[in-house]
Amino acid sequence: MLFRRLGAIILLVSDIERSTNFYKDTLGLPLKTKSSEWVEFFTKDTTLALHPVKKESKVRPGAGGVLVGFMINDLESTVGVLKEKRVKFFKQLRNESFGKHAIIEDPDGYLISIAEIKSKPAEEFDLLGLLGAE
C-alpha cells in the first residue's frame, strides 16, 4: 500500500485568526501549534490544519467539495452549545439510520459533519450518507 493513513486535513482560509478562534474557541478543538501562516489542531492521529490564502492566489477558500467530519458522544448537547454560539447550520440535527447527524459551517463556508454513531464502528461509517441537506 502506497498510503498508510490520512495525516492532515488542510483548510485554506481567508482570515487565519477568525478561523483559529472558530475551531479553538467555538468548537473547542485542542490547539497543537500556531503561527501567522499555519495552525494545527489535535496532537495525535489526523491533524486539522489551517493555512491562509494569499490575496493574489487564484485559490479561494470555501466549501468547494471539502467536508470535515467529527464523531460526537452527545450530539444533542453539542448542537445546543453550537446554537448558543450562533454557529450556522447547513443541516439541522436529524436522526438517521446510523445515529444522529448535523452539518455546520465554518467562517469560510467549509462544511463540518458532526455525528453521534450508534453501535456501528467508525471504520464502517459511510461518510457519503452524511452529505444530504434538508
Q: In this predicted model, what pLDDT tens digit does every residue of 104-128 receive, in sequence order?
A: 999 998 989 899 988 644 444 444 4
Q: Is 130:67 a contact under the CB 8 Å cutoff?
A: yes
Q: In this predicted model, what pLDDT tens digit does every residue of 22-62 receive, in sequence order?
A: 999 999 999 999 999 999 999 888 899 999 987 777 777 77
Amino acid identity of residue 50, one-letter, is: L
CATH class of 8-123: alpha beta
Calculate the alpha carbon distances from 115 to 31, 66, 78, 118 in Å: 22, 16, 10, 9
Total-model pTM: 0.75
Burial of 104 (0-12, 13-18, 19+ CB in 10 A): buried
